[in-house]
Structure 1
Amino acid sequence: VNQPGTLILSIHLDSVWISESGTIQTLPKLKSLVQPEQPSVPYISETLVGVSQDAILNYFPDDERLIPISTELKLGIHELPKGMELSDNISIPFQPQDYNQLGTLNGIPDIKNRSSAVLKIFPISIDGESISWFADVTIQLTWNPEDPSFTPVLLSMEGIHSIQPRYTAYRAMNQIPDYQYSQNIAKIVVDSTGWYRITRSDLETHGVVLNNADPETFQLWNEEDEILLFIEGEHDGEFNDGDEIIFRGEKNPSPVNAPYQNNFYTDENVYWLTWGNQDGLRYGQENAYPSEDLPDWQKPIYFTQTVHIEKDEYFSRLGLVSDQVHQQWDGIDHFFMNPPVHNGTSVDYVIQLEHPATNKFQITAEVQGITSNTHLITMQWNENLIGETNTWEGQSIKQIHGESTENSSIPIYNGENLFTLINQENPIEGSDYDQVYLNWVDISYERFFKTNSEYIHFSTEPNQSGIMEFLLRGFNSNNIYLFKKGIARLQDFLIIEDDISQTFSIRFQDNIISPGTEYHIFSNIAIDTVKKIIPIEPINTLLDEIMSAYIIVAPDSFHTILEPLAGYHNGTVVSIDEIYRQYSYG
């Protein structure tokens, strides 16, 4: 049962036993709580969004079952990633469990303005010379919901991006997010997608006055959403020189449903950092220690990677596409990759790939006809024909496809690969001129868990579930971060140094709840710095309340010059940045 104000969960274990190596095993497999010098205890942890931390927790177990401890239990080894202090602001310290601690509920910062909590269930406990466990446990949570229309979300199953934010009444009427009225606010600008770091020095160098800001109150916003943060060293109540804010930033997206990824106008995306209001949204902390002895089929050696290449190097008005081209301007792409492919010629594009595992791959390319005649385009991959000759007419787009099987002789290389477009039209004197441009190309291939760039991101496959183990190689730093997108930061994974290659690998295990779970793994070398940090004053004048017959819109740098003119006409000078801020989130 899952409805506003009530959540009922049923937990079932088929069996529990002690393995030959002295670890407690379960079917189905559960993650284990690993503590130094303590036996690892399987348990269940779930972040609940829309559930109050004051919810009444009741649990109803079936009959207790006992297993005598006939062998010495293996004790946990707590190994932290080198060079990092990892504190767990959500997890509950391990203590011997008794009946009254079968389930625990602890509040965490609101997720998308919705009350949230972490539920932990301990169906197994160690009591002296035996292990006690319950095959079936029913958990009942009841609370008074803030939003009677919102059904609680189990974060591990649905992810943070599926959650609809809750807005205040003021937000719904005014269309300006509440955080814009914060007394402490700074504008943060990024222009590419990646992981970013902000330090105290970064903020103060750009004129941001922090005073005695409590880092636990740092909140980062983008448009209507609060962004998950990891803040190194926040729990001492001070944002010190060695502390840092880590977040994933996205470049400015293209319009909704647009058939391209690069925004026409700017790559700059605006985030807003506030502090001093309330505790901010943080990644959960989950244990990823590889404590289970897993078979090889639960240890994948490669994954499917899709690389997207799109460059805005040539502009075309595409006036022949439609007589409504100006009304549909953002609905079609106008920027393409140079050079064009003329009739009777070919163009090579160099594509960088990392560590292919097999020769199996698929290619999809979108090409744009510029001239009004017939186009005939063929693809090559590393000088081998792939796919069929594609024919289409006029100033329109065409998606062309090709693939190579695992047993194919078409090579795919670690590093540079050559993608070629061939225009089959032969140049004949007096014949029509033909021109085609490449818009973008996607390559999906099977890739080893290895990096040349200090960064790997991957999603689990549809057939992967339960406890899985991953080994990722090729990092040049042992200061490595591991995030499960939209859910948690994983910690306690193992770091291994290769003395021959002088690189580092990490090994971790995680319980896969649903296919498509996305992981981001990177070292400190791959973390970028933001493009701009700008201290901002809170909003004190609403633009839609300005009543004037003479309004001057200009950049801030013009205001001093324009104030006398505005005063003469009894008018107002309005900043361009303020218009973006109040009407387009910045």
Structure 2
Amino acid sequence: MKRTVSTLIILAFALGAFAHIQVQSTIGNQINIAFQLNDYNIATENGFATIKIDGMEHPMQSGAALLPFMELKVGLPLSGSISWSIQNKSEEQITLPQRLLPVPTMWEEEGMSRMSYIIDDALYSQMPSDYATVMEPDAFRGLRYVSLRIHPFIYDGQNGLTILKNATFNIQIEGDIHYRGQPEPDELSELMLSQFINPQQAKSWQSHSRQTINHAPFAAADYWLRIETDKKGLHKLSYQQLNALPLADIDPRTFRLFGTGGDLLSYTVQNPGPVFQEIDIWVQGEEDGHFDSGDAIIFYAEMRDEVNKNRELIGPATALNPYSKNNVYWLTFGGDFANPPSRIQDLTTPATWQNTITSQTMNARIEEENHRREQWGSEWYMSKLFGNTTADYQYPIRLDNPDNTKDITLTIRLRQEIGRSDLWHSIHVFVNDVEIAPPSGSTSFRWLGSDTYIFQRKSDSFVHGDNTIRIRVNRTEPDNLLLDYISVDYTQTLRLPEEQYLIQTPYIAGSQDLRINVNGSLGNREIYRLDGFTGLNRVHPQTEAQSFWFAASTRSDSRYIIAESRHFHSPASVSLANPTDLTLDNRQLDHIIIAPQEYITQAQSLASMYDDFYNLSVKVVDQADIINQFNGGHPDPVALRQYLRHVYYHHQAPRLKGVTLNGLGTFDWRNHSRQSTPKNKLMAFQIGETTSDDFFAMMSSSSYPELVIGRYPVRTASELDNMLSNYRNYVQNPQGGWWRNSMVFLGDDLYNGSQTDYETIHTQQAESAANSVNPSIHTDRIFAWEYEYDEYQNKPGARDDMVAAINEGRLVWYYVGHGNADSIGSEDYFNGATDMGRFNNPDRLPFFMVPSCKVSQFDHWGFDSLGQKVVMLNNLGAIASLGATRMSNAYSNHDLMLKVLDNLANKRNYLGYSIMAGKLGTSALSNNSFYVLLGDPTLRVIPPERDSLLNITSPEGNPTLQSRQLVNYQGSLASYTGSATAETRVLDSRTFYNLDMTTRVSQPGKTIFRGDVSTLDGDYEAAFIVPDDITNGETGTIVTYIWDEQAKRDYINYLYPVATSDQAVAAENLAPPEIELFLGSFDYREGDTVPTKTTLLARISDDNGINITGSPGHNILLVLDNSIQPISVTKYFSYQQDSHTAGILRYPLNNLSEGPHSVQLIAFDNFNLPAVASTSFMAKKSSGLSIDRLLIYPNPMQDEARFTFILSQDSQLDIGIYTVSGKRIRHIKTNGRQGFNQIPWDGKDHNGHRLANNTYFLKIKATSGSQSVEARERIVIYK
């Protein structure tokens, strides 16, 4: 192990490999592990010490010390656990030059993510004091495990650091290791097993316990009415409202009503979900067996908008359900049910009772969802109390029969709008114009900063009926406050109103007989006891002069409601439904596609592609059908997970592996913003402040997704058509080429906007990511650090180089750095608002990987994220994106993305699998959940199949590539047996350099040879000459690429590393290169007229090959019209097939001005001997298809002639030879090229006879698309 210490003020480059773990033995319940800490580096950055080591993870908690650690997963038997001990340890104590760097605090300023390094002393004092920590046991697809976190660095919170250099860890598994489960091997279980240190043991312990997933038994009846209610209380269903049913054929005694209560569903993964319960009803008139026009159904309905129904929300309590207001009930009749229909029963009045109730605890609350403070989370605010001067804000609130002898408590929740944290706030609060006294010693209620302020005070100024709450905000400067809600807790005297009256009894453990006294005349009202939301029973009262009482056995969930028929509510809607029973189909499924009804047809098309392309068993499911069956019709994203869990646990094996979500969704599903409805297609799953599609895919644990998952983030059918077309084209009709073996990496620069902290992390992470992929893959490395700012403090040069690479074609587009929802980098490397038109990459769509903040925040109604925008273009942009929905941690981002890249690029796994592998291989669970795949999870974004069956030989017998050396190479493509043309590229050693004293980066080596080579049964051999411009190094690469057009697959043959040397071998150089110049075609002649858009063609040859390294002073240069700024055109040269001495340069000349032009080309051979060639020509703008300068030579002719002419476009040619009488005697069909053309004629007719002396006519017709043009000329034959 090597350790270095640097006290420079910038982060030092990480050295060496990562900490090494080797399992020495697994015997019974004992596992022995050898630990070896490899090279690490300690440096200082912005006044902090930092530890740099590859292959370890980093903590996430802001303010904690950034201590690297690693996690090992240990498989467990049922109810198992582990203990550990350490032996043979070697450790070292050092003193750090400064305290350790803290985990950065992420925040946002001026629309861009920011990092601040602020130590939390409490967290620094809680650093791990032992070399290992056992985490909580968990499970994944039936595999139980526990993580052992190893801490090689023990930190005292100040300057002391103890380093574990090597040790032996002894792990003991507690539990029944002889237990044998029922292993169900599948690729995802095997993926998790690959993370375990005891995979064989863990595999034998795999076991799934059957999970109960509650759902509606829709198959039990043929007819179902869906009933929505928007009020709380007793409801009446009339004969007219049920006329969609065949009432004449129904025995009303078989009516049944069902519901789930409408509570927000629990986020707990292992939860059976809501029970679809039958509800007690009163069917008026059912006794005669007929449901007549005067008959009705009476039932009690809840509302979703109550605080106690939404307590599952993480955050402040709210009365408003985030997904819907109305409760949903289901009415049916007959059917196949085990129990008789539930009806209201009469209760017996108890003779005695334990307590008498004369009042109840009440809450009056005003709350609306009108305004947002943050762009995520469940918090909405009712009002803006904004202003620069003191102002009053009034709110009415009603209290019914408050008991003023008891405490009445007013609660107001306020929070400062995002802004200053040093601002003092001051308010006065009045109830019915009576001020609530401020605290002793203060003239007002005051608080500091932007945290939530809860005002809670008692007041005796409330009255029965309407009250006014007035809030006075005292201001001497701008102070913007947001009001969440106003709540009043009071005791209500029981007094009967002129409406339904609900009485909430106090909490009772078990049950008690209670007497309840109510003031007021009962009249024709009836009293019912409610138990939960299903039980409804009639209570018999005892009346007195101006009051009445009743007594009944009362439970903790019992309430009482008093009403008469005229008070009954009517449902908000009643409709005949035809719910699908999804549980009837239990066939084996690999994949589920969930879509809203409007996308079902397109989803079925996608399912067909899954079947055709990957032989997947797929089911398309309507989101509404899931919500109906797994949550009683109440929208809730947990319902979608419950359905997926049902399929996972109850369908035939092999178990479900993946899910695709078709449609966009926002966290404003109820459209409080008045803008979100167009984007609310497929629900977004938000827990607390985090939106993640991973939450849908958790089957048994909240740690990791257990299904691969991706989302098509579309809001219109046309957007979905674009994405489906891109998917089909990418999979079914891929375009071969080197782009599939190339990636572009862009690292953010040193400074983030106006921040002055010196950030090298993104540059180093870009270098690290590029280094992590197989060396046969070409990597463009764009370090924004190296580019100049423009006048707007942007770096357009970095953007242009990145976009140029994307448009040329790259398999992966990778950006690491700061970002926001619509752009990457404060320097505007790519902006979704202005740069989408820069894409010009049809059929070469990259996978966009973005370890940055918020780039895929798809769930906000007010904007589209960059991660969405790039994947929704028609055959442009990206094929998919992987980005964060929220602010994310730079260190954890990098840990995740390295794992994803490894699985995608090196192991060639499909997207969903690669992303899951990245998440399973890292422990930053909350940060990982931010990252969502916008695109299809089944996509194979993989480089060509590769092998290293490639060898080199030289006359000198030296494996090093030396200057002027003739090198022969031979290769064999292991998986390809065809005979297509391959292309070989030979690269010099990588260039390593320092951006500052310690930040070391690299660039790929220069191309020293690029040429086509013939293959036979996958074998090939060829040669190249090493140029003088080669450098000394050990990282040269030779790569041969082949595209099998028939199979639509590609292959790579490579050799790495290859040593390179500028030490020349003896070789002769007798002459400079030979150069021939052409415009448009090789039939070009000096002085020809060509279109203003043409191609420069150059045949270049030399016995020692052509220098294509692009080295300074030795580029192939083009000088147009004697310009003093030559153009480097080196990359446009490629050797001819099987040649290392001659090749063709093709360079497009676009937008030439009309008139005369000259071209000069300078090229060097590999020994750097130059040659120059030039030509002159006329450029003429063509408004359409034309044939110019038609000539016949010779004319008169004897036996043979040539027809020469210039075409403005590539065309199909129809050539006829005619006699003077107009008879066609020869017909020639061929193709013509833009520019100069020459067609030979042998002087014969179509029968092969030579023509006699005479005059004939030539007619040439050129056709291009819908355009055609003709030209004629006379021919004289004279022998």
Q: TM-score under structure 1 normalisation?
A: 0.55
Alignment of 1:375 onto 2:425: yes
User: Does the CA-based 8 Å contact 2:216-2:629 persist in structure 1?
Assistant: no
Residue 218 of structure 2 aligns to a residue in which SS?
Answer: helix
> Which residue does the alignment assign to 1:127?
none
Alignment of 1:491 onto 2:552: no
Question: How many Å separate the matches in 2 of 1:466 and 1:572?
Answer: 53
Q: Kindly tell me: are residues 306 and 265 of structure 1, through their superposed partners in 2, closer, same or farther at Cα, counting changes over 3 Å?
A: same
> Which residue does the alignment assign to 1:190?
229
User: Does the CA-based 8 Å contact 2:530-2:559 persist in structure 1?
Assistant: yes
Displacement after TM superposition at 1:182 (Å): 2.3
> Which residue does the alignment assign to 1:275?
333
Alignment of 1:249 onto 2:302: yes
Question: How many Å separate the matches in 1 of 2:528 and 2:218?
Answer: 31
Alignment of 1:363 onto 2:410: yes
**Between the two proteins, what is the percent identity of the paired residues?**
13
Alignment of 1:392 onto 2:458: no
Alignment of 1:507 onto 2:548: yes
**Which digits, 9 at most, give the CA deviation of each residue in 1:107-145, with x for residues without a partner?**
xxxxxxxxxxxxxxxxxxxxxxxxxxxxxxxxxxxxxxx
**Which digits, 9 at most, give the CA deviation of each residue in 1:385-423, with x for residues without a partner?**
22534433444322221114xxxxx43322211112222
| Stretch of structure 1 that moved more, 566-575 or 522-531 | 566-575
Q: Kindly tell me: are residues 546 and 247 of structure 1, through their superposed partners in 2, closer, same or farther at Cα, counting changes over 3 Å?
A: farther
Q: Residue type matched to 1:336 in 2?
A: Y
Q: Kindly tell me: are residues 239 and 398 of structure 1, through their superposed partners in 2, closer, same or farther at Cα, counting changes over 3 Å?
A: farther
User: Does the CA-based 8 Å contact 2:367-2:382 persist in structure 1?
Assistant: yes
User: Does the CA-based 8 Å contact 1:450-1:456 persist in structure 2?
Assistant: no
Residue 423 of structure 1 aligns to a residue in which SS?
Answer: strand
**Which digits, 9 at most, give the CA deviation of each residue in 1:173-206, with x for residues without a partner?**
573525222223222222343332223431225x
Displacement after TM superposition at 1:288 (Å): 4.3
Equivalent of residue 576 in structure 2, options 523, 529, 535: 535
Alignment of 1:309 onto 2:359: no
Question: How many Å separate the matches in 2 of 1:261 and 1:387?
Answer: 29
Q: Kindly tell me: are residues 549 and 376 of structure 1, through their superposed partners in 2, closer, same or farther at Cα, counting changes over 3 Å?
A: same
> Which residue does the alignment assign to 1:337?
382
Q: Kindly tell me: are residues 399 and 453 of structure 1, through their superposed partners in 2, closer, same or farther at Cα, counting changes over 3 Å?
A: farther
**Which residues in structure 2 correspond to 1:16-55 (within 5 Å)?**
none
Q: Residue type matched to 2:569 in 1?
A: D
User: Does the CA-based 8 Å contact 2:521-2:547 persist in structure 1?
Assistant: no
User: Does the CA-based 8 Å contact 1:286-1:489 persist in structure 2?
Assistant: yes
Displacement after TM superposition at 1:255 (Å): 5.7
Q: Residue type matched to 2:259 in 1?
A: W
**Which residues in structure 2 correspond to 1:72-471 (within 5 Å)?**
173=211, 175=213, 177-184=215-222, 185-205=224-244, 211-222=249-260, 223-233=274-284, 234-241=286-293, 242-251=295-304, 253-254=309-310, 256-258=312-314, 259-276=317-334, 277=337, 278-288=339-349, 302-318=358-374, 326=376, 329-330=377-378, 333=379, 335-340=380-385, 342=387, 344-360=390-406, 361-371=408-418, 372=420, 373-386=423-436, 388=438, 389-404=444-459, 410-424=460-474, 426-427=475-476, 431-460=477-506, 468-471=515-518
| Stretch of structure 1 that moved more, 336-345 or 358-367 | 336-345
Question: How many Å separate the matches in 1 of 2:630 and 2:558?
Answer: 35
Question: How many Å separate the matches in 1 of 2:472 and 2:383?
Answer: 14
Any stretches of 5+ residues in structure 2 without a counterpart?
1-208, 261-273, 439-443, 612-617, 634-1279
Question: How many Å separate the matches in 2 of 1:538 and 1:209?
Answer: 20
Displacement after TM superposition at 1:349 (Å): 0.8
Structure having greater relative contact order (Cα 8 Å, sep ≥ 6): 1
User: Does the CA-based 8 Å contact 1:229-1:245 persist in structure 2?
Assistant: no
Question: How many Å separate the matches in 2 of 1:317 and 1:366?
Answer: 14
Equivalent of residue 566 in structure 2, options 522, 525, 528: 525
Question: How many Å separate the matches in 2 of 1:358 and 1:419?
Answer: 17
User: Does the CA-based 8 Å contact 2:371-2:383 persist in structure 1?
Assistant: no
User: Does the CA-based 8 Å contact 2:282-2:344 persist in structure 1?
Assistant: no
**Which digits, 9 at most, give the CA deviation of each residue in 1:11-62, with x for residues without a partner?**
xxxxxxxxxxxxxxxxxxxxxxxxxxxxxxxxxxxxxxxxxxxxxxxxxxxx
Displacement after TM superposition at 1:309 (Å): 1.6
Question: How many Å separate the matches in 2 of 1:386 and 1:375?
Answer: 17
**Which digits, 9 at most, give the CA deviation of each residue in 1:338-395, with x for residues without a partner?**
3526462221111112223435322222223224433233322111122534433444
Question: How many Å separate the matches in 2 of 1:539 and 1:210?
Answer: 25
> Which residue does the alignment assign to 2:655?
none
> Which residue does the alignment assign to 1:27?
none
Displacement after TM superposition at 1:513 (Å): 5.8
Larger Rg: 2
Q: Kindly tell me: are residues 455 and 208 of structure 1, through their superposed partners in 2, closer, same or farther at Cα, counting changes over 3 Å?
A: farther
Q: Kindly tell me: are residues 195 and 245 of structure 1, through their superposed partners in 2, closer, same or farther at Cα, counting changes over 3 Å?
A: closer
> Which residue does the alignment assign to 1:106?
none
Question: How many Å separate the matches in 1 of 2:252 and 2:557?
Answer: 36
Question: How many Å separate the matches in 1 of 2:461 and 2:304?
Answer: 33
Any stretches of 5+ residues in structure 1 without a counterpart?
1-170, 320-325, 405-409, 499-504
Displacement after TM superposition at 1:303 (Å): 1.1
Q: Kindly tell me: are residues 315 and 520 of structure 1, through their superposed partners in 2, closer, same or farther at Cα, counting changes over 3 Å?
A: same
Q: Kindly tell me: are residues 461 and 348 of structure 1, through their superposed partners in 2, closer, same or farther at Cα, counting changes over 3 Å?
A: same
Question: How many Å separate the matches in 2 of 1:517 and 1:574?
Answer: 39
Displacement after TM superposition at 1:573 (Å): 6.6
Cα RMSD (Å): 4.2
Displacement after TM superposition at 1:512 (Å): 5.7
Question: How many Å separate the matches in 2 of 1:384 and 1:459?
Answer: 32
Q: Residue type matched to 1:337 in 2?
A: M
Q: Residue type matched to 1:243 in 2?
A: A
Q: TM-score under structure 2 normalisation?
A: 0.27
Displacement after TM superposition at 1:256 (Å): 0.8
> Which residue does the alignment assign to 2:25?
none
Displacement after TM superposition at 1:219 (Å): 3.5
User: Does the CA-based 8 Å contact 2:364-2:399 persist in structure 1?
Assistant: no
Q: Residue type matched to 1:312 in 2?
A: E
Q: Kindly tell me: are residues 578 and 232 of structure 1, through their superposed partners in 2, closer, same or farther at Cα, counting changes over 3 Å?
A: closer
User: Does the CA-based 8 Å contact 1:376-1:391 persist in structure 2?
Assistant: yes
Q: Residue type matched to 2:433 in 1?
A: E
Question: How many Å separate the matches in 2 of 1:541 and 1:304?
Answer: 44
Question: How many Å separate the matches in 2 of 1:210 and 1:574?
Answer: 35
